[in-house]
Amino acid sequence: MKPTVLIATTTRWIPTARLAVSLANAGFVIDAVCPSKHLLANTDAIRQTHSYHGLDPLTSFADAISAAKPDLIVPGDDRATQHLHLLYDQERHKGDAGKPICALIERSLGASENFPVLYARTKFIQLAQEQGVRVPKTGIINDHADLKKWIAQTDLPMVLKADGTSGGDGVRIVRTFEDAKRALRSLQAPPLLARAVKRALVDQDRTLVWPSLLRRRSVVNAQTFVAGREATTSVACWKGEVLASLHFEVVNKITSCGHATVLQSIENAEMSAAAERMALRLNLSGLHGFDFMLEKQTENAYLIEINPRLTQVMHLTLGLGRDIPAALYSVLSGQPISPAPKVTEENTIALFPQEWIRDPASPFLQSAYHDVPWDKPELIRACVRSRRKQAAWYSQQSRVQALSMARQPRI
């Protein structure tokens, strides 16, 4: 019998749909718990979708688990990971009745005693440092006094990051004390009620409602600024062992603190070693990402954070040891690993639709491997529709022209 994966997501992030296709191609049966009108519904990879309700997320996840009976859960975003951690705690207090869900969550994410570390930035960096991993100095900032002390000890520029955020939403690079004070105030503040209501009504995403109503403030961390190039490692793990990994240097981003749109495949021994050490120390299972800075002067790789969920490159199949879906299928099915054909021999990859949205005339749409799912036309159309509001700054004609420039996949 084919193993079943439940993709659990609280957002409409496109990479969840891309990974679902690759997991299905690897042999998995795929279910999903997700908001309504998710792109996952526009693929033939999904057996069944289950409703996610932002005002009662744990019940949504528990009901989906009961219906799908998955062998593994893959969280599609940081909030989904946090929901699974909370669901674990809820089920643990039920005694024997909660043991099956607890066991499933640990099998999917790793050892439960390490859950708090996965989305607490300072704790994670401190743990990495204990493992001999190269990291920038990181600490929690509570107020302006902490800011002054930090700047006196480390100087500017500095990076401020809020726990529980991703995709650059909770990151600010600041170069003056006044900028730092403004950024701290913004990052600590609970979500605006108007923003929460807009997201609930327009996007059908109610996840900000409770944080806004309860006025929950975020923990903010400071990190020393490392001048250099961003890089990322994505891994499939099983009981602390890395099964497959992908390493990329970031070439282009949607914004200065946003997600990557163009990446270059690299091999980096220090990044590999850091990912392996942290996977072993945290006893990780499932899918995880690690972000790095490659220092400009030395090329040293500084680990700056972990992403305890799928990343936007995990659907890429790049050969033995670099095919995350195949590695995961092998360990869950007990069958020998059988990687899919490499999607490209190119080292530079322009992610679809991210780079196309960033710049419809981007030269990378021609010079790099443009990662368009040509065999999934409904998914392509859904990607275009889903991004219209965010890309309103250029015309529909520009969209069509830009896509026609890169109609054929580059191999």
List per-residue pLDDT tens for the chain, 411 residues long.
Answer: 899 999 999 988 889 999 999 999 999 999 999 998 888 988 899 999 999 988 889 999 999 999 999 999 999 999 899 999 999 999 999 999 999 999 999 999 999 999 999 988 999 999 999 999 999 999 999 999 999 999 999 989 999 998 877 666 788 999 999 999 999 998 988 666 556 665 665 555 566 665 665 567 788 999 999 999 999 999 999 999 999 999 999 999 988 778 899 999 999 999 999 999 999 999 999 999 999 999 999 999 999 999 999 999 999 999 999 999 999 999 999 999 999 999 999 999 999 999 998 899 999 999 999 999 999 999 998 888 766 555 543 344 344 334 434 444 433
Q: Which pLDDT value is given to residue 255?
A: 82
Measure the CA–CA gap between 261 and 140, rounded to whole angstroms: 30
Q: Which pLDDT value is given to residue 368?
A: 97
Please give the distance of CA 72 from its chain centroid, rounded to a whole number. 17
The domains of the chain are located at 4-109, 137-224, 228-405
Q: Reduced to 3 states, what is the DSSP secondary structure of residue 348?
A: strand
Topology of domain 228-405 in CATH is D-amino Acid Aminotransferase; Chain A, domain 1 (3.30.470)
Into which CATH architecture does domain 4-109 fall?
A: 3-Layer(aba) Sandwich (3.40)
Query: Distances in Å between the alpha carbon of 377 and those of 292, 373, 388?
Result: 34, 7, 17
Q: What angle do CA 206, 11, 370 make, to 5 degrees?
A: 155
Q: Which pLDDT value is given to residue 393?
A: 37
Q: Reduced to 3 states, what is the DSSP secondary structure of residue 157?
A: coil
**What are 147's two structure tokens?**
């800011």
Measure the CA–CA gap between 103 and 296, rounded to whole angstroms: 44
Instruction: Domain 137-224: state its class.
Output: alpha beta
pTM: 0.88
Query: Distances in Å between the alpha carbon of 97 and those of 83, 85, 93, 103?
Result: 19, 17, 9, 11
- Beta partners for 29? 4
Q: Which pLDDT value is given to residue 294?
A: 98
